[in-house]
């Protein structure tokens, strides 16, 4: 009987994908009536991963990763958001409409102005204008400066 490693990160990192061989081995052990704990100790994989693979196999009949639902993002980290940031830093006076038009001509990306506004807001650019104060007298302006 193997002793489980006290640190789970040593056994398997969070971003590491299990190989097809290990998944098939888990299913084979499960079919041979081994418990999840025994399979975990045998393959040196966390019990939650073993349980997830076995559950997926029982429900779907496969251990392959299924495609995700939802619409993919227009702005990918390596795509349009870099161009939006570059345009906004170069000229802080550009509107979202002009940035969207520039992206369409330069990169061929069809992006709406709301998507550009959302990206700019996420980058920390907020479209706020200073309040106009037309009724400041010369005396008040002089006092404010001091």
The whole-angstrom separation of Cα 146 and Cα 135 is 19
- Name the H helices within 1-112: 8-11, 20-31, 36-43, 47-60, 80-90, 96-107
**pLDDT in single tens digits along all 146 residues of the chain:** 455 544 444 555 555 788 889 999 999 999 999 999 999 999 999 999 999 999 999 999 888 888 888 877 666 655 555 556 666 565 667 778 888 888 788 777 788 888 888 888 887 777 777 777 778 888 888 888 87
The pLDDT value given to residue 118: 83
The pLDDT value given to residue 8: 45
């Amino acid at each position: 009987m193997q002793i489980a490693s006290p640190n789970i990160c040593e056994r398997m990192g969070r971003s590491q994908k299990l190989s097809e061989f290990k998944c098939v081995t888990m299913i084979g052990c499960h079919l041979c009536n081994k418990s999840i704990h025994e399979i975990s100790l045998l393959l040196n994989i966390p019990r939650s991963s073993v349980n997830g693979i076995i559950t997926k196999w029982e429900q779907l009949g496969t251990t392959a990763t299924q495609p995700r639902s939802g619409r993919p993002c227009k702005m990918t980290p390596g795509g349009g958001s870099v161009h939006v940031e570059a345009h906004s830093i170069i000229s802080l006076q550009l509107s979202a409409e002009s940035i969207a038009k520039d992206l369409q001509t330069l990169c061929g990306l069809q992006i709406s102005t709301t998507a550009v506004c959302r990206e700019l807001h996420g980058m920390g650019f907020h479209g706020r204008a200073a309040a106009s104060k037309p009724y400041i007298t010369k005396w008040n302006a002089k006092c404010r400066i001091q």
